[in-house]
Amino acid sequence: MVELSSPHENIQLTTSRLGIAEYWDHFLARWAINRNKHLVEPGLYALGDPVANSPVFVTANYTLSFDALRSALGGVDGYILALDTKGVNVWCAAGKGTFGTDELVHRIEASQLKHIVDHRELILPQLGAPGVVAHEVRKRSGFKVVYGPVRSTDLPKYLQAGEVSPEMRRVKFTLWDRITLIPVELVFVLIPLLVLGLLLRSLGAVSAILAGVVLFPILLPWLPTNNFSTKGYILGGIVALPFALNAYLANPDLVIWQRIGWTLAYVLTLPPITAYLALNFTGSSTFTSRTGVRTEIFRYAPSMAWMFGIGIILMIPLFLTKVWGG
């Protein structure tokens, strides 16, 4: 006869307190260092001293998501069910399907949750809703899905009130939220920045890149139009303007076609650089939907490529003329 293990043997322990190691991990994650290693083991965790009627919270196994949840639940006794999202946050994992119905049902069964709690309710983050079909979860596991507030910091109020207020449902994308995205985007463009700065000596291109990864998220709500591409074009145009004016006005020794050529080169190449980088923020913003992102990419990516390509082609004879003239 095979002796079955107790479901409680697989429960791991956690606390609401974060230490230096956790904060260091968060810092590295924000800078995309050890990108695929910021995760906890999937499974069921006991927070505090939970009992059979304690609430069950569901999150991703990304350390920032897991730690944000547990640190918000100080003084709460409950269970945390960490899904295997491959170390991806709830929102992105829901879009990719790893924070989804199949994984949730699998994790309920693997943890033997029905033998640990005497209720059948799971509290999921609202941003995980796109990946989860609630009625399928109930049909396959017997557990009801309840969506909590957008932010984990509102969970204590939610538990006390027993319901989510309209304010808790409101998705915000504050200045601080946007600023925290800058480091990871900056890391991805660091090598292109060095190449352009050291080899091409192109201050304009460097400025366009920095505008796309630093200024764009900061200024996002105040840039006109309703999509990221045209917002990026506008910001890129503002960045290109002083370089274009300088190319025309500060080079009186050049013939008129060269001055106009360099002016057009800046106008054509810099805005699409900023606009392209602006699209990177669609996946972390509350301004767009998945279908909206796809539509925007198909609509504006070709124009970005054409503008940039024409600008580069225009630069070739200008560079050659400069070299031969020198």
| CATH number where 145 lies | 3.40.50.11600
| 3-class DSSP assignment, residue 59 | strand
| 2 part of a folded domain | no
| 210 part of a folded domain | yes
Task: State which of 171, 206, 233 marks the end of a domain.
Answer: 171
| 1 part of a folded domain | no
Q: Are 25 and 165 in a shared domain? A: yes
Per-residue pLDDT of the chain (326 residues; tens, 9 = 90+): 334 456 667 899 999 999 999 999 999 999 989 888 999 999 999 999 999 999 999 999 999 999 999 999 999 999 999 999 999 999 889 988 899 999 999 999 999 999 999 999 999 999 999 999 999 999 999 999 999 999 999 999 999 998 999 999 888 888 898 899 889 888 888 777 766 665 555 788 889 999 999 999 999 999 998 889 999 999 999 999 999 999 899 888 888 888 999 999 999 999 999 999 998 887 666 556 667 677 888 889 999 999 999 998 998 888 888 766 55
Q: Are 155 and 276 in a shared domain? A: no
Q: How far is CA 286 from CA 147, 177, 210, 220, 229, in A?
A: 18, 11, 22, 11, 15
Q: Are 136 and 199 in a shared domain? A: no
Q: Are 120 and 252 in a shared domain? A: no
Please state, in angstroms and rounded to a whole number, the distance separating the CA atoms of residues 222 and 288. Answer: 16
Q: Are 142 and 99 in a shared domain? A: yes
Task: State which of 118, 142, 171 marks the end of a domain.
Answer: 171
Please state, in angstroms and rounded to a whole number, the distance separating the CA atoms of residues 42 and 209. Answer: 38
E runs forming strands in the chain:
12-14, 43-47, 56-60, 78-83, 121-124, 144-147
| 3-class DSSP assignment, residue 83 | strand
| 104 alpha carbon, distance to own chain's centre | 22
Nearest to 283 by CA among 205, 209, 192, 217: 217
Q: At residue 147, what are phi and psi to the nearest 5 degrees?
A: -95, 125
Task: State which of 143, 171, 199 marks the end of a domain.
Answer: 171
Q: Are 160 and 262 in a shared domain? A: no
Q: How many domains does the chain have?
A: 2
Q: Are 101 and 152 in a shared domain? A: yes
Q: Are 119 and 251 in a shared domain? A: no
List the domain range (segments joined by +) for residue 119.
7-171
Please state, in angstroms and rounded to a whole number, the distance separating the CA atoms of residues 80 and 179. Answer: 29
| 149 part of a folded domain | yes
Q: At residue 148, what are phi and psi to the nearest 5 degrees?
A: -85, -165
Q: Are 294 and 233 in a shared domain? A: yes
